[in-house]
């Protein structure tokens, strides 16, 4: 085993220091938000809260969870995240696979059309009129179908499919497998890293849905959690919660921070389960001689 030179050790140490500092800068705001969500109104108002809760209380969370609209918004966000991500993965894989195969004619033209629409996308009013004609306005489908395939994710998945050895596909065809069977039994099992990555990206996109909900949804019961979060940020806590439920330990700022934590927790929980799939070498030793 080759010993590292002094310059390599110094460079490695500097990289570690940089990553630690960068990680701390990214972590501090999250800790501050979490600390405020668990602190009393007096502690927040006096500026005592930094990275650790002061006069710890769960009143902020209790007041939020008493609000039925929060639970409804969470249910809506969970639904569009789960169902929307499944739609995204199915549609993106179904288009990326033929675009990655050399034998399919017209794929270059289709790619040019996709890139053209990506660069010169339709403005808001035509999109709204189209969704209205399709009967999707004021439905949850308006938050999922228009973004069933995103160009960037499609190109990433196509590039991954291109790296899969052609010998595997040819072997499957020789064994009598059709295109769907090849995609389902050969391509997708070898594509766990990219599928996990796409799953996380699409899930975050749906969970953070805000603008589309403002444009296409009028029914308050169909609003996702991010819209409810914006309402807490823009309006006073007293206006959103019944006055007889407000207690001395809660504060407007604390309630806002608690909503931020509630909105972020699902994605934070999801990431560790998908992170383990972010690996390379998925076809190592899989090619037949």
**Segment 10-66, tens digit of pLDDT:** 888 899 999 899 888 888 888 888 888 888 877 877 778 888 888 888 887 887 778
Condensed to tens digits (0 to 9), the pLDDT of residues 170-195 reads 887 887 777 788 888 888 888 888 88
CA distance 57 to 182: 55
Q: What pLDDT does residue 274 have?
A: 66
**Minimum mean pLDDT range among 35-44, 196-205, 227-236:** 227-236
Q: What pLDDT does residue 202 have?
A: 92
Is 43 within 8 Å of 251 (Cβ atoms)?
no
Q: What pLDDT does residue 118 have?
A: 84
Is 89 within 8 Å of 195 (Cβ atoms)?
yes
Higher pLDDT, 232 or 102: 102
Of 103-117, 142-156, 226-240, 244-258, highest mean pLDDT? 142-156
Higher pLDDT, 79 or 268: 79
Is 73 within 8 Å of 231 (Cβ atoms)?
no
Tokens of 49: 């809260």
Is 253 within 8 Å of 44 (Cβ atoms)?
yes
Q: What pLDDT does residue 178 have?
A: 79
Q: What pLDDT does residue 206 have?
A: 92
Is residue 97 scored above 90 in pLDDT? no
What do you get for the CA distance between the two ends of the chain, in Å? Answer: 33
CA distance 236 to 171: 64
The CATH superfamily of 59-289 is: MetI-like (1.10.3720.10)
**In terms of Cα–Cα distance, which of 199, 194, 201, 197 is closest to 100?**
194
pTM for this one? Answer: 0.77
Is 213 within 8 Å of 143 (Cβ atoms)?
yes
**In terms of Cα–Cα distance, which of 31, 34, 36, 60 is closest to 47?**
36
Tokens of 194: 């990219």
């Amino acid at each position: 085993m080759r010993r590292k030179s002094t310059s390599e050790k110094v460079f490695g140490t500097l990289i570690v220091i940089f990553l630690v500092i960068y990680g701390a800068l990214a972590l501090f705001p999250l800790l501050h938000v979490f600390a405020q969500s668990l602190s009393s109104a007096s502690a927040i108002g006096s500026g005592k809260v930094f990275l650790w809760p002061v006069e710890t209380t769960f009143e902020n969370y209790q007041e939020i969870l008493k609000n039925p609209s929060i639970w409804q918004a969470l249910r809506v966000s969970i639904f569009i995240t789960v169902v929307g991500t499944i739609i995204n993965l199915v549609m993106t894989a179904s288009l990326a696979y033929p675009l990655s195969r050399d034998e399919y004619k017209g794929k270059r033209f289709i790619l040019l059309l996709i890139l053209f629409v990506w660069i010169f996308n339709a403005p808001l009013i035509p999109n709204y009129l189209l969704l209205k004609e399709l009967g999707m306005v004021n439905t949850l489908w308006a938050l999922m179908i228009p973004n069933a395939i995103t160009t960037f994710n499609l190109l990433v998945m196509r590039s991954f499919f291109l790296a899969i050895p052609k010998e595997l596909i040819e072997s499957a065809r020789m064994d009598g497998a059709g295109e769907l069977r090849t995609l389902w039994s050969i391509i997708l099992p070898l594509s766990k890293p990219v599928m996990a990555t796409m799953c996380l990206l699409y899930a975050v996109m749906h969970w953070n849905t805000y603008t589309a909900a403002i444009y296409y949804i009028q029914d308050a019961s169909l609003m996702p959690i991010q819209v409810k979060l914006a309402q807490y940020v823009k309006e006073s806590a007293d206006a959103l919660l019944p006055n007889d439920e407000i207690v001395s330990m809660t504060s407007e700022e604390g309630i806002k921070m608690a909503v931020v934590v509630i909105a972020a927790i699902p994605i934070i929980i999801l990431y560790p389960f998908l992170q383990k799939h972010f690996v390379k070498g998925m076809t190592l030793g899989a090619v037949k001689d």
